[in-house]
């Protein structure tokens, strides 16, 4: 969804799935929530067994994200300055002094490109061991309290705002087996009511989001024939536009306002529940494409950053619905092909390493004897 939204080939059939990233919540929130959930779920048991080893693994991941942020910033700043289109992406530093660019990149005061979530992810991962240690020692309440206080003091800080999603999801990830066990222990009728309530809530938020953000805004402010519509239709659209105006400060993305949090959590929970129920069917129907993208999410994200940057230089101008749909499909296929090649290359190198180590051990044993 992030890849499709960043491509920006709209209108297209994919708009029905991504909402252009302009709804009351977006795929970006899901990106941080699934990351935090997996940290709690995967690293929590390791933290309980060996805190030092788990901390080293998490910090190794954080350093990788940090290093990628710095390297990609240099690559895209150079590429942006070398291209024939200035300001390929907003925020390009034009002809920066090398020393100053290095200093600000290393301290994460400046980063550039379409992989601009990586520095935030690196920061959250750097703090994750401390939070996870507290969570696994029965102090989840303390982590949540500190996280909420940081959110309340967020001001205009993205890090202070979005850490709430990451840290909150990390707590959920640690308790996920217990949560699912308790859910399975409920009676079938009660489980059905909970699922129905969650799906209905998600659907209502989705419909209201579409009606206010896409329908009302376009109809009232961008549709030349608005005055020719029936009076009743005009009143409905104007009311929806008033709702949009009222909701706007409550769904600000950068500072993660309250309605945006609620929407993101409800949508994420509904999608999670639906996908867990239909996991085998989904895996079969998508031929493993979603699974590959999920398992190689960092690789996909980095490849997407290069693809999006190149698209801004190669494909210009507006296109129709069919053209946009075909362009999106083609580029998704290119990314899938690149990720498949990377996955196979990684598997090959791993298999070579496995066969090389026993051979080396055998030679050492022969030399010793």
pLDDT digits (tens, 9 = 90+) for 91-149: 889 889 999 999 999 999 999 988 888 999 999 999 999 999 999 999 999 999 999 99
* Residue pair 287/333 in contact by the 8 Å Cβ criterion: no
Tokens of 327: 């362009």
Which residue has 């298999």 as its token pair?
Answer: 351
Dihedral sign from CA coordinates of 14, 65, 139, 38: positive
* Residue pair 143/167 in contact by the 8 Å Cβ criterion: yes
User: Model-level pTM?
Assistant: 0.88
**Average predicted confidence (pLDDT) for the chain:** 89
Residue that wins the pLDDT comparison between 212 and 59: 59
Q: Which of 259, 264, 241 is nearest to 249 (CA)?
A: 259
- When pLDDT is averaged across residues 245-270 and rounded to a whole number, the result is 95
pLDDT digits (tens, 9 = 90+) for 280-312: 898 888 888 888 888 888 999 999 899 888 887
pLDDT at 109: 93
What Rg value do the Cα atoms of the chain yield, rounded?
24
pLDDT digits (tens, 9 = 90+) for 332-356: 898 899 999 988 888 888 888 777 6
Residue that wins the pLDDT comparison between 19 and 41: 41
Q: Where are the domains of the chain?
A: 25-185, 187-277, 279-369
pLDDT at 361: 63
Which residue has 């890849």 as its token pair?
Answer: 3
- When pLDDT is averaged across residues 186-213 and rounded to a whole number, the result is 93
pLDDT over 80 (residue 88): no
């Amino acid at each position: 969804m992030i890849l499709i939204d960043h491509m920006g080939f709209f209108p297209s059939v994919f708009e029905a799935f991504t909402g252009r990233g302009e709804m009351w919540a977006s795929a970006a929130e899901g990106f941080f929530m699934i990351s935090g959930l997996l940290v709690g779920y995967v690293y929590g048991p390791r933290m309980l067994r060996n805190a030092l080893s788990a901390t080293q693994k998490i910090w190794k991941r954080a350093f990788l994200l940090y290093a990628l942020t710095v390297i990609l910033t240099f690559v895209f700043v150079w590429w942006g300055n070398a291209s024939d289109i200035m300001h390929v992406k907003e925020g390009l530093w034009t002809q920066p002094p090398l020393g100053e660019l290095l200093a600000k990149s290393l301290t994460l005061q400046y980063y550039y490109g379409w992989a601009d979530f990586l520095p935030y992810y690196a920061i959250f991962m750097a703090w994750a061991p401390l939070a996870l240690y507290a969570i696994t020692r029965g102090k989840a309440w303390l982590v949540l309290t500190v996280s909420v206080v940081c959110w309340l003091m967020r001001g205009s800080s993205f890090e202070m705002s979005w850490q709430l999603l990451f840290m909150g999801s990390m707590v959920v990830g640690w308790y996920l087996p217990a949560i699912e066990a308790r859910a399975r222990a409920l009676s079938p009728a009660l489980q059905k009511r909970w699922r129905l309530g969650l799906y209905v809530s998600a659907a209502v938020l989705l419909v209201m989001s579409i009606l206010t953000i896409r329908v009302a805004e376009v109809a009232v402010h961008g549709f030349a024939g608005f005055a020719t519509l029936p009076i009743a239709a005009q009143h409905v659209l104007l009311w929806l536009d008033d709702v949009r105006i009222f909701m706007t400060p409550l769904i600000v993305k950068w500072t993660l306002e309250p309605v945006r949090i609620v929407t993101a959590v409800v949508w994420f929970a509904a999608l999670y529940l639906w996908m867990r129920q239909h996991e085998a069917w989904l895996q079969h129907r998508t031929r493993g494409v979603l699974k590959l993208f999920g398992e190689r999410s960092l690789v996909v994200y980095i490849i997407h950053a290069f693809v999006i940057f190149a698209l801004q230089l190669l494909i210009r101008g507006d296109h129709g619905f069919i053209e946009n749909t075909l362009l999106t499909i083609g580029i998704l296929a290119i990314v899938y092909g690149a990720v498949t090649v990377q996955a196979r290359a990684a598997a090959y190198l791993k298999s070579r390493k496995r066969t090389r180590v026993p051979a080396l051990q055998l030679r050492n044993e022969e030399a010793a004897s």
